[in-house]
Structures are given as C-alpha cells and as structure tokens.
Structure 1
Amino acid sequence: MKTLITGGIVVTMDPALGDLTRGDVLIEDGQITEVAPHIDAPDAEVIDASERIVMPGFVDNHRHTWQTAFRGAGSDWTFAQWAQAMHHTVKPHYTPEDVYIGTLMGRLEALHSGVTTMLDWYHVAQTHAHEDAAIAALTDAPGRSVFCLGAGWGSESSVEDDIRRVRATLNGGGRIDLALGMRGPSYTGIDTATREVKLADELGMRISLHIEAPGTITELAEHDLLRDTLTGVHANGVSVDELRMLADAGGSLSISPDVELKMGFGAPMTGLALDAGLRPTLSIDDVPSVGGDMFSALRTAFAAQRGIDGRLRSRDLLDFATINAADSMGLAHRTGSLTPGKDADIVLLRTDDLTIFPVAEPASSIVSQGHPGLVDTVLAAGQVVKRDGALVGVDLPALRQRLLASRDRIAEAVAVALDGTWDPKPTA
C-alpha cells in the first residue's frame, strides 16, 4: 500500500534533508520511502497537504495517563497537594476499569494533539489486573506507546516478578514496548535500586526515573548504575556537575516545563542540561495540573529559558520534542524525523487558520503559534488515525461517558467536590 502526502511545507527534522517549502512524502507499507520536492506515484492514495505543514509526530517520554479523569482538578495545586490527592486519596479507589478508560482517553488525547509516540509512566500500581488494563488501553489506542511500569510505587518491595510477568507479554518489536519505572535509591535504598537496574539490563529495558533531589545521580554513579538507557525526569535543583555525570553515561533528561513551574519545582533545567552536554527532551507529566498538548510545553520551555539567558531557537525546541525524545526512548531509528526508512509517524498542521496564518518560518510558527486545533491529520506508522480534525474509528461520546462515570464514582467515594474547592491537605 502506498500513500503520497503532497504539496505541503515539509519540516523533516533531518539535518541532511532540511525543510522543503513545497514537498511530497511517499509512504509504503507504513514506512517513509522518499521525501522530495515532487514525487510521481500514480498508484498511491493521495493526501493533499496544501496549506499544511508536514512534520514528524511529537514524542512525549513521560506522561501519567491514568490520571486523565481528573483533568483540570489540580490547576491550583502544589506538588504536595497533587501527591496527596492523586496518590493518597483517589488512587486506592481505582479499579482496572478506571485505569483502562483513563489510559485510553489520555492516549487518544495525546494522539489527537499530534503525539504519535508516548511513554506512559504507570504508577497506579495495585494488582496485575490494573497493569493489564493499562496495557490493554495502550493496545486499543493507535500509535506507538511505551508502558513504563512503575511497579511497587510507595513501597520498598521487590518488583522483579511483576517486571518479568509483563515482559513475557511485551517482549519488544511491536507497537507497545516495556520500560522500567524506577523508584530510585531515595525510596528503596541502593541495594534494591541496583537489583532493578541489573534486571533492566538483563531484559533489555530502558529506565525512567523521577529525579526529585540533588545527590540521586551522584549516588547512582558511585554504584555504577548510570546507563545510556536511563532517562532522568525533572531534576530541578541538580547541579551541572551531576547532570554531566548523566550525560557522560549517555543518559537523557526529560523536562516537564509546565508542571515544574506551576508546582514549584523551580525553573526548567533546559539551559543547565545543555551546559552539561545533554540534549533535553520534553514531556507533559499530568493533566490534572496542566494541558496535555506538546505545543504548550514547547512554548513554556522556550519562554522560560529565553527569559533566563536569551538562548535557544525555535528549531531547538522541535528537536527536543521529536528526534531528541525519540533517541531517549531508543526509537530514533524508527521515528522522530521524516527520514526514508523510518515509520511514517506524521502530523499535518493547518496553515490557513487565523491563529497561525501567514506562516513565515515553519519551526517558529509551530513553536510560537502552534496549538492542538491546528492538528488536521495524523498518521501512525502510515495509518491515518486522525483526518480532517477528527480521530478515525473512535466512539468518543461513549468513551466520554465512561470517563465521566469513572471520575464521578471515585470523587463520590472520597467525598471531594470537583467545583474548584478541593484543597488536598498533605499529611506530615
């Protein structure tokens, strides 16, 4: 099967190909086979990209979709309030169905706004049925996902059996892969952390770790636990010297700029990461607190760093949210740029919308004026999953009802109002 995307402004994110002011992209059997100013493919299905920007799908390497039902409930919360609300108040009431519908709707939301590859950081760990529900939701949603299993969250117990059980199902190579959501030595002690890293090594899994305090990277380095497969998340307040240890090991850093600024983590670590030799990546984190689209993260990270020292250009931000993030997930050979041989993970953005028209330089327009309303068409591995602004083959009314039922049941069980008055009181 062939598909020809024709006549768009093509932003490849491949330095060897650059941008095309008018270009075509040919897709065969789910992969990009050619990018050129003009391609003859008379036997291909044609997607007209005139008045569109054609770009790689966004890559989000850190999002907690299980919380989708409580979207917007925590807009005014600090980190401590969020932790109290989500982990200590509502999470104990989550059934597998709640995990399924939250994960599915969260993944569909990401896809709807142009995120074709997403790491789902699961830490609603309770039972195997909850884990299986999350995997089922990611399987039922189009696009590529990585199930980052944060098993044992809130405990110091071994998670080896859990990891091996899920790994036997998700053994790599498909649309859904498995990563280790590591708890870290500050939660489990260094001995357990060592066992988890060695387990990830054995099973060929990547690792994602929330770095919430200085010293964590140093402790991992002292025990030879830093890896090129490890992505640190946040790391606010960590020194350049510590970040350099992560860079020297080949690791990566995921920045969630909206959450970090709103919840009081501190300024995003974009500039310091660059100083340390890291290419930052961008992620959303959670939608109870912030919006779930990558455009907002791009703009916040850009403005925050430019306000500090004036560095960065729009193209840097697109790198962070495409090819750099794909590399952090070990997927740069498959996605993150419109390079022949890669999967056709492609987004078409409207350029005739009044909020972006007229487009001068496409990267600048995407970063400074982009928003989910511009996402007209999305292809995931060559499959059209959004067309003319609407997801394909998704019964959204029915799914919305299931999500509302989930949220309302849990809110009633914990006796909280969803009218903006919920003020979680962190316990000492």
Structure 2
Amino acid sequence: MKTLLTGGTVISMDPAVGDLVHGDVLIEDGVIARVAEHVDAPDAEVIDATDRIVMPGFVDNHRHTWQTAFRGVGADWTFPEWALAMHHTLKPHYQPEDVYAGTLLGRLEALHSGVTTMLDWYHVAQGHEHEDAAVAALRDAPGRSIFCLGAGWGTPDPVDADIRRVRSELTGDGLVTMAWGLRGAEDTSMDTLARELKLAAELDLRTSLHIDGGYGTEHPVTALCEHGLLRETTTFVHANGISDEELCMLADAGSSVSISPDVELKMGFGSPMTGRVLAAGLRPTLSIDDVPSVGGDMFSTMRTAFAVQRGLDGGLRCRDLLEFATLDAARSCGLGARTGSITPGKDADLILLRTDDLTVFPVTDPVATIVSAGHPGLVDTVLVAGRVVKRDGVLVGVDVAALRRRLTDSRDRIAAAAGLADAWLPRA
C-alpha cells in the first residue's frame, strides 16, 4: 500500500533530509520510502498537503493518562494537594472501567493534538484488572503507546511476577509496548533498585522514574551513581532539585531527562531544567504529566519551556524545542530508529498542520510558527505507521459523543464514591 503526501512544507527534523518549502513524502506499507521536492507515484493514494506543514508526530514520554476524567480540577493545586486528591482521595475508588475510559479518551486526546507516540506512566496500582484495562485502552487507541507499569504512591508496588505477567502480554515491537516505572532513590532501597534494574534488563524493558521534584532528599543521583545504578535506558522525570554535578553523571551514563514545564512551575517544583540539562551535555525531552493540572498538548508545553529558558539566558532556538518534542523524546523511549523524524526507513508517524488558519497565517517561518503560535486546532491530519487516524480535523472511526458520556459517568461515580460535593466538579 502506498500513500503520497504532496505539496506540503516538510519539516523533517533530519539534517540529512532537510526541510522543503514544497515537498512530497511517499509512504509504502507504513514506512517512509522517499522525501523529495517531487515524487512520482501514480499508484499511491494521494493526500493533498497544500497549505499544510508536514512534520514528525510529537512524542510525549511521561503522562499519567488514567487521570483524564478529572481534567482541570487541579489547576490551582500544589504538588502535595495533587497527591492528596488524586492518589489518596480519588484513586481508591477507581474501577477497571474507569481506568479504561480515562486512558482511552486521554490517549485519543493526545492523538487529536498531534502526539503520535506517548508513554503512559501508569500508577493506579489497584490490581491486575486495572492494569489490563489500561493496556486494552492503549490497544484500542490507534497510536504508538508505551505502557509504563509504575510504582504506586501508597498502594502495592509492582512485584516481579506482575512485571513478568504484563511483559508476557506486551512482547514484540507492535504499536503498544512496555516500560517499567521505578521508584526513585528517595522512595526505596538501593538493593531493591538494583534488583529491579537487573530484572528490567533481563526483560528488555526501559525504565522511567520520578526524581526530586523539589520535595525529595538531597543527592539522589549521586547515590545511584555510587551504587552503579545509572543506565542509558532510564529516563529521569522532572529532576528540578538535582545539582549540575548530578546532571553530568546522567550525561555520562547516557540517561535522559523528561521535563514537564507547566506542572513543575505550577506545583512548586522549581524552574524547568532545560538550560541546565543542555549545559550538562544532555538533550532535554518534554512531557505533559497530568491533565488535572495542565493542558494536554505539546504546543503549549514547548511554548512554556521556550519562554522560561529564553527569559533566563536567551539560549534556545525554536528548532531546539521541536527536537526535544520529537527526535530527542523518541530516542529516550528507545524508538529513535523508528520515529521522531521524517527519515526514509522510519515508520510514517506524521502530522499535518494547517497554515491557512487565521491564528498562524501567513506562515513565514514554519518552525518558529509551530513553537510560538501552534495549537491543537492546527492539527488537520495524523498518521501512525502510515495509517490515517485523523483526517480533516476529525479522528477516524471514533464515537466521540459516546466516549464523552462514558468518561463523564466515570468522573461522577468516582467523585460520589469519594464523598465529594457536586459543586466541586466542573459541569458541562
């Protein structure tokens, strides 16, 4: 099967391919076959990309998707308030169907806004049925997803048998794969971390962990380094409180750092680490974190990270932000060879952004426009592994009205079970 995207402005994020003011992208069997100013493919399905920017889909490497039903309620919360509300007040009342509804709609929301690859950092930790519901939702959403089975905030942590059980269901390199969300050095012993990292290597699992978001202990990376527990397969989330020396330790180990700028600023973690991460020789990556507190799109996330760092030292360029949110994030997920750039041989995970929308027209500098003025309303078309999952601004084959009702019912049931007054909830 062949698909030809024709006549768009191609922002490839691959220096060897470059950018094209007007270019074509040929896709064969879900894989990018050719990128050029003109591609002759008379037997291909044609998608007219005139007045569109064609770019790699965004990669979000840290989002707690199960919380989608409570979008916006935590916009004023600090981190301790969020932890109390989400993990201690609401989470105990989640049933598997609630996990499924929140994860499915949250993953579709991400696709709708151009996030073709997303790591779902799961920490509901209520039981096997809840885990299976989250995996089922990711499979039912036509995106590239990583189910990151995480440690659980006051509830039982994943044990070896549980990790092995889920891993046995998520083998191969399909659209839904697996990672392991570890507890950090502040939360468990070095012996436990060593054992879990050994098992992760045995099962070929990448790992992710939250580390010192401003509320942890001092020098957690130093402790990991001294025990030989830093890995290039680990992503450290937030890391606002760690020292420049510790960042260099992460760089030496080849680890990655995921920055959630909106959450970090609003919840009191401190300034995002973008500039300091770069200075240490690392490539920052970007993530949403949770939608009860912030918006779920990568456009606003890039804009916050850009504005904060430019205000501090003026050192970033717009293309840096696009790299953080595409190729750099793909590499942090172990998917740099499959996605993150428009490169022949990679899977066709692509988005088409409108340039004729009045909020961005005229688009004189495409990269600057995406970072400074982009928003989900520009996302016209989304392809994952060559499959069109959003066309003409509408998700393909999704009954949005039914999903809305399902998620609203889930929200109301959980809130009632938690003893929360109706006035606490946003009303349609």
TM-score, normalised by the number of residues in structure 1: 0.97
For residues 95 and 193 of structure 2, what CA distance do their matches in structure 1 show? Answer: 29
For residues 421 and 267 of structure 2, what CA distance do their matches in structure 1 show? Answer: 21
Q: In structure 1, what is the equivalent of residue 335 of structure 2?
A: 331
**Closer/same/farther in 2, CA of residues 229 and 42 from structure 1, 3 Å limit:** same
Question: Which one of the candidate residues 299, 305, 314 is aligned to 1:301?
Answer: 305
Q: 1:18-417, aligned counterparts within 5 Å?
A: 18-154=18-154, 159-212=159-212, 213=216, 214-417=218-421
Any idea what SS the aligned residue of 1:187 has?
Answer: coil
For residues 49 and 86 of structure 2, what CA distance do their matches in structure 1 show? Answer: 42
Letter in 2 for 1:288: P
Using the TM superposition, give the Cα deviation of residue 418 of structure 1 relative to its aligned residue in structure 2, in angstroms: 5.8
Using the TM superposition, give the Cα deviation of residue 159 of structure 1 relative to its aligned residue in structure 2, in angstroms: 1.5
Q: Does the 8 Å CA contact 2:9/2:22 hold for their aligned counterparts?
A: yes
Q: What residue ranges of structure 1 are gaps of 5+ in the alignment?
A: 423-428
The runs of 4+ residues in structure 1 deviating greater than 6 Å are none
Q: Which moved more, 1:213-222 or 1:235-244?
A: 213-222
Using the TM superposition, give the Cα deviation of residue 151 of structure 1 relative to its aligned residue in structure 2, in angstroms: 4.1
Letter in 1 for 2:29: D
Q: Report Cα offsets for 1:335-376 as digits up to 9, x if no partner.
A: 000000000000000000011111111110000010000000
Any idea what SS the aligned residue of 1:116 has?
Answer: strand
Letter in 2 for 1:61: N
Letter in 2 for 1:368: S
Using the TM superposition, give the Cα deviation of residue 190 of structure 1 relative to its aligned residue in structure 2, in angstroms: 1.4
**Closer/same/farther in 2, CA of residues 329 and 157 from structure 1, 3 Å limit:** closer
RMSD of aligned alpha carbons: 1.2
Q: What residue ranges of structure 2 are gaps of 5+ in the alignment?
A: none
For residues 418 and 336 of structure 1, what CA distance do their matches in structure 2 show? Answer: 43
Q: Report Cα offsets for 1:306-359 as digits up to 9, x if no partner.
A: 000111000000000000000000000000000000000000000000111111
For residues 290 and 394 of structure 1, what CA distance do their matches in structure 2 show? Answer: 24
Using the TM superposition, give the Cα deviation of residue 156 of structure 1 relative to its aligned residue in structure 2, in angstroms: 7.3
Q: In structure 1, what is the equivalent of residue 4 of structure 2?
A: 4
Any idea what SS the aligned residue of 1:281 has?
Answer: strand
Any idea what SS the aligned residue of 1:186 has?
Answer: coil
TM-score, normalised by the number of residues in structure 2: 0.97
Using the TM superposition, give the Cα deviation of residue 158 of structure 1 relative to its aligned residue in structure 2, in angstroms: 6.2
For residues 99 and 156 of structure 1, what CA distance do their matches in structure 2 show? Answer: 17
For residues 422 and 142 of structure 2, what CA distance do their matches in structure 1 show? Answer: 31
Using the TM superposition, give the Cα deviation of residue 154 of structure 1 relative to its aligned residue in structure 2, in angstroms: 2.6
Letter in 2 for 1:370: G
For residues 152 and 22 of structure 1, what CA distance do their matches in structure 2 show? Answer: 49
Q: Does the 8 Å CA contact 2:53/2:355 hold for their aligned counterparts?
A: yes
Using the TM superposition, give the Cα deviation of residue 419 of structure 1 relative to its aligned residue in structure 2, in angstroms: 4.2
For residues 377 and 13 of structure 2, what CA distance do their matches in structure 1 show? Answer: 22
Any idea what SS the aligned residue of 1:292 has?
Answer: coil
Q: Does the 8 Å CA contact 2:150/2:158 hold for their aligned counterparts?
A: no
Q: In structure 2, what is the equivalent of residue 426 of structure 1?
A: none
Q: Does the 8 Å CA contact 1:101/1:399 hold for their aligned counterparts?
A: yes
Any idea what SS the aligned residue of 2:77 has?
Answer: coil
Q: Report Cα offsets for 1:225-258 as digits up to 9, x if no partner.
A: 1000000000012111101101100100000000
Q: Does the 8 Å CA contact 1:350/1:376 hold for their aligned counterparts?
A: yes
Any idea what SS the aligned residue of 1:268 has?
Answer: coil
For residues 417 and 157 of structure 1, what CA distance do their matches in structure 2 show? Answer: 31
Q: Report Cα offsets for 1:85-129 as digits up to 9, x if no partner.
A: 000000000000000000000000000000000000000011000
For residues 20 and 330 of structure 1, what CA distance do their matches in structure 2 show? Answer: 28
Using the TM superposition, give the Cα deviation of residue 173 of structure 1 relative to its aligned residue in structure 2, in angstroms: 1.1
For residues 325 and 347 of structure 1, what CA distance do their matches in structure 2 show? Answer: 16
**Closer/same/farther in 2, CA of residues 152 and 369 from structure 1, 3 Å limit:** closer
% identical aligned pairs:
72
Q: Does the 8 Å CA contact 1:12/1:55 hold for their aligned counterparts?
A: yes
Q: Does the 8 Å CA contact 1:123/1:150 hold for their aligned counterparts?
A: yes
Q: Which moved more, 1:344-353 or 1:194-203?
A: 194-203
**Closer/same/farther in 2, CA of residues 132 and 158 from structure 1, 3 Å limit:** closer
